[in-house]
């Protein structure tokens, strides 16, 4: 079961965000069987609240036998024409995500982007 959970975990994309615009994001710790876990970033414009993002993510993961917890949230400004993403702000419900972790995840996904973050702003 641990091998299957590890495989399920490895199939979960580290980053899923909209291709353009300003939108909310959550940093989510996904857990497989045993001590396996990884943090993933989810950000989409359709979400009115950070909880919407988290709930949809949790539902998707549960179908694969994975559990998760929300580590916090914020906002992303994604400007593909400038190859820039700015991470900032916080979630009223979940608190501020560790933007440094989020930035690291985004940088791995978008290696040719300039990715910045700030604790200021909402």
What pLDDT was estimated at residue 51?
98
pTM comes to: 0.93
Encode pLDDT of 27-46 as tens digits: 999 998 777 899 999 999 99
What pLDDT was estimated at residue 32?
87
What pLDDT was estimated at residue 6?
72
Report the number of secondary-structure helices (H) and strands (E) in the chain.
3, 6
- Which residues contribute to the annotated binding site for substrate? 24
- Output the six-digit token pair for 119: 């604790």
Kindly report the number of other CB atoms within 10 A of residue 33's CB atom.
16
**What ranges make up the beta strands (E) of 19-81?**
21-31, 37-44, 67-79
Burial readout 88-116 (b: 16 or more C-beta within 10 A, e: otherwise): bbbbeebeebebebbbbbbeebbeebebe
What pLDDT was estimated at residue 82?
98
Catalytic residue of the set 44, 50, 78, 99: 50
Tell me the percentage of the chain whose pLDDT exceeds 90. 84
Encode pLDDT of 87-120 as tens digits: 999 999 999 999 999 999 999 999 999 999 998 7
What's the mean per-residue pLDDT of the chain? 93
Domain architecture of the chain: domains with CATH: 1-118 (3.50.20.20)
Tell me the percentage of the chain whose pLDDT exceeds 70. 94
What pLDDT was estimated at residue 76?
98
Distance in angstroms between the alpha carbons of the first and the last residue of the chain? 42
Ranges of H-type helices in 12-98: 50-62
Q: Is 78 designated active site?
A: no
User: Is 1 a residue whose pLDDT tops 60?
Assistant: no
What pLDDT was estimated at residue 122?
56
């Amino acid at each position: 079961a641990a091998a299957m959970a590890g495989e399920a975990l490895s199939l979960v994309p580290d980053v899923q965000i909209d291709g353009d615009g300003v939108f909310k994001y959550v940093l989510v710790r996904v857990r497989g069987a045993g001590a396996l876990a990884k943090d993933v970033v989810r950000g989409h414009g359709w979400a009115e609240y950070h909880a919407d993002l988290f709930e949809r993510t949790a539902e998707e993961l549960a179908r694969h036998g994975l559990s998760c917890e929300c580590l916090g949230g914020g906002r992303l400004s994604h400007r593909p024409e400038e190859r820039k993403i700015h991470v900032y702000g916080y979630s009223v419900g979940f608190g501020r995500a560790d933007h440094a972790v989020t930035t690291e995840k985004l940088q791995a996904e978008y290696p040719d982007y300039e990715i910045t973050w700030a604790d200021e702003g909402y």
